Amino acid sequence: MRSTRIAVTFLGIVLMSCSQSQHSESDGILEPYRLTDGPGGAVMVLRHDSVLYGKAFGRADVEAGTAVTFATNFRLASVTKQFTAMAAMILVDRGKVSLEQQLTDFFPDFAPVGRKITLKHLLTHTSGIVAYEDVMPESTTVPLLDKDVLQLLKNIDSTHSLPGSEFRYSNSGYALLALVVEKASGVSFARFLKENIFLPLGMSNTVAYERGVSEVPHRAYVYSVDTGKAGRCERTDQSLTSSVLGDGGIYSSISDLQKWDAALTAGSLVREKTLQEMLSRSAVIDTGKTWYGYGWYTGSMDGVPLYYHGGSTVGFRTCIVRIPDRSLTVIALFNRSDVESEKICLKLARLYF
């Protein structure tokens, strides 16, 4: 009995030592961005429901002196795409839409090329569709909405490549998916997200922000950091594409994204088969290394499947990495432009792997 106690005590000491070492290394990874009076971020490492590491630092609003917390809402940028994909797949699960349906099924006046582009092509970035950012008129002064993206694209009867033939990252495709969700559900995209994802999961402060319609509680403002001038920063909060919802318009916090992660683990929004299809290696990006599913990049760490997505817009930098076979998730949200959020998440995932 005494030897058992000694063994258990020794194991506890070893685990405590490992934890302290990991915390120290994690702090070191984040140290360059932990300014007391400048913009900052929030980072969390989860295993199952336990928080292995969590830090919130810097200012959500530098001018007002508001500190970042785990409840601070950041614009997710392209991390939004996993929610857009989930919205579409909820409708697939309910038999409201099919992945093989074409753009012209939803937008009859779309150019003839729309008869060759399916919802699956949009989800996997294999539609070849033109980037709406490249065809925005130079005279544009009012931020675009998803419906404006449709107007810009519907008369362009060509694609970069044959639909379904190759991966080409496309914000256009996800803006169109948001409109498909609206058409198929009969409610706005923002409302569909709220009623079918955010509220059921208890993500009460998460919102697909629409100016004049909704508000973002506890929000972070974003700053461009001039690394050549001792960390000087300038607020650069919005751009002409900031109001497009489907590709990047959701605001959320670390606290709410914990609930999103738990829902993905529990499979509480769609059938397990549907969720696995979302995480499948549908489009090849880097042969044998990286693929794209529906709203998620897929790869591996030491042969163990890994799923992730980053986001970048104006100055927000975001990322989520999930390694289900290790019950490990890393979430990072920043409101400063000088951060490589994906690299930080992958470093932390490696540390706790």
What is the rounded CA–CA span in Å between residue 281 and residue 302?
Answer: 17
What is the pLDDT, as a whole number, of residue 15? 43
Question: Hey, which residues does 332 pair with through a beta bridge?
Answer: 43, 319
Q: What is the pLDDT of residue 11?
A: 42
Tens of pLDDT along the chain (353 residues)?
A: 555 455 445 444 444 555 788 999 999 999 988 877 899 999 999 998 899 999 999 999 999 999 999 999 999 999 999 999 999 999 999 999 999 999 999 999 999 999 999 999 999 999 999 999 999 888 888 889 999 999 999 999 999 999 999 999 999 999 999 999 999 999 999 999 999 999 999 999 999 999 889 999 999 999 987 765 555 788 887 777 888 999 999 999 999 999 999 999 999 999 999 999 999 999 999 999 999 999 999 999 999 999 999 999 888 999 999 999 999 999 999 999 899 999 999 999 999 99
From the list 144, 117, 82, the residue with the least C-alpha distance to 329 is: 82
d(CA 234, CA 153): 33
pLDDT for res 94: 97
What is the C-alpha end-to-end distance of the chain, expressed in Å?
33
User: Which position has the token pair 């830090």?
Assistant: 55
Q: Is 327 a catalytic residue?
A: no
Which one of 78, 127, 252, 253 is the catalytic residue?
Answer: 78
Whole-prediction pTM value? 0.92
Q: Which long-range contacts (CB under 8 A, 24 or more apart) does 299-307 make?
A: 301/349, 301/350, 301/353, 302/353, 304/353, 305/279, 306/349, 307/279
Residue 229 has a pLDDT of 56
* Burial class (CB within 10 angstroms; exposed 0-12, middle 13-18, buried 19+) of 330: buried
Contact assessment for residue 284 and residue 117, using Cβ atoms and an 8 Å cutoff: no
Among 56, 39, 37, CA closest to 336: 39
Candidates 198, 196, 211, 233; CA nearest to 336 is: 233
What domains does the chain contain, in order, with CATH numbers?
Answer: 34-59+74-208+220-352 (3.40.710.10)
CB atoms within 10 A of CB 51: 12
